[in-house]
Every structure is written in C-alpha cells, then in structure tokens.
Structure 1
Amino acid sequence: MSLLGQNAPDFALPSTEGREIRLSDFKGQQHVVLVFYPLDFSPVCSMQLPEYSGRQEDFAALDTTVLGVNRDSVYTHKAWAAEYGIEIPLLADLNLKVAREYGVAIDERAISKRAVFLIDKDGVVRFEGVEPSTGDYSVRPEQVLEQIRTL
C-alpha cells in the first residue's frame, strides 16, 4: 500500500517534548519527515535516529521538522534520546495505530517497519522509503534532504 501523492493520515501522539504532537499542526507551516523505526536502544535504530538528529539544522533550513515514531513509551524515548544525544521529537505510538495507518506495522512482532515518509506543507506524502527488512537502513538523511529540495 503506497501513500505517495495522497494526504498523509493525521495523528496526535505523546512526545518527548512533553506535549502531544499532531501532524496537522505543521500543515501550511513546515514539511514533515516521519521516521518510523522498530525499537529504541536497538543497534540499527541507535545509528539511524542520531544521524537524522545530527542533520536537524539542514532540515530546518528547508522548513522541515523530523519526527521519530515507534511503539516505545515516552519514558523509554527520553532515556534513549539522552543516552544517544537525539534531539528530534520522538513520538510514542504505543498501540501501533499510526504505523498501521501508514502501512508499516508488523503486528506479529508488535513493532513497525523501518520507514521514512516526507510530507509536504500541504499534508501530501511526497516520498516514502520502506526498508525490506527492519535491519536495513538505506534511506539516509541526505537522500531525504534531496527530496525536500525538489518540492
């Protein structure tokens, strides 16, 4: 199921910012990059999210916010972010509802796939990169930045 060219499903999730974050809050304001990842503290995720976080200024220069999403709690997110220096908001999709809406839930394992969605200021999905396996990490920040530059 591809969401490319469609309106991104809206959501409201608790975040490490101490507030609920809604996708619709960014509409008309900023592009949004949603980074779905399986688990906090796992090896590949502990490489991916710090890499996206480290490029935050590059994304901000292009009017873009990056949000990490998975099924772990806000408390786990905060501990992981502190340990790995992750400064982007991490959202808690505890029941995988949002992952299901984006077609990236792996219900039998109670995690999400590793996937990146670029949503433009109009709320339309302009890029989606879903990894074949949760251990794969091929959609790097630079590739997503290139996609944003084409908008």
Structure 2
Amino acid sequence: MSEQSPVSELSHVDPGNVAPGNGYTHVVTGTGRFAAISGQIALDENGAIVGEGDPEGQARQVFENLRRCLAAVGTGFEHVAKLTFYVTDLGVLPAVRVVRDEYVDPAKPPASTAVQVTALVRPELLMEIEALALIPE
C-alpha cells in the first residue's frame, strides 16, 4: 500500500440513524483526484477466464485486476471510496467478501453496493466489480 496523504484521506462516516453496515461503510468522503475503475472481470492479462465455476478464484482475479488498475494511476485500495459488485448469484458473496477483506481494510471498508444480475458479458463469469477512488494530489 502506498503512504496515504492527508490531502486524500478518506473519512468513513457513520450516520447513526441507519442500520449498521456489515462489511461496508454507508458514507465515505474525501478529496483528491477522482478515478473511476471500470468493472473488472475474471480474465487474465491474455484474456483467458480464471476460476471458471470457482467464486473465490474469480474474485481473486477480479481484485488483482482492480489492484493493477489502481496501481496504473498511482494508488491502491486504501484510496477506494466505493466498490460496486455485480454478481449472477448472491450465493457467491461470501467468497467475494473473503477476498475483498484481503485487499481492503475491514476496519475502514469502502462504501459498497451489491446487485444480482441475470448475466454478464460471458456466461462463465460470476461477477464484475468496479471501483471509485480518490487519489492523493
């Protein structure tokens, strides 16, 4: 993880009047340069599917792809303000959460949304995950 600059420090806010988040924060604020990372899927650098039929294997590839995209703009998961999960079956979320917690600080998780969809771009894919980040200036 890169050292966090006070200019881009994220604030995790508990509004106090909504149900507690389980593995996510309701409100994250901060300043810095905005980066939108397109939804990443379980494809390796050659475009081959990784982890077909294996939710944890696909999640590992997706989070590694997200890590590489964040690194390309000079940041890491410590500056991710929001993750959006698109899954073809909500049953894969426990495996996704295990992997997510290896990449994000579970004490300060980003805001998150999870949506079940009927299909993704390829039938073998179980998930697509996108990220929004605020990068130190």
The question of a shared fold, defined as TM-score above 0.5 by the shorter chain, is answered with: no
TM-score, normalized by length of structure 2? 0.35
Structure with higher helix content: 1
Larger relative contact order (CA 8 Å, sep ≥ 6): 2
Give TM-score, length-normalised by structure 1. Answer: 0.33
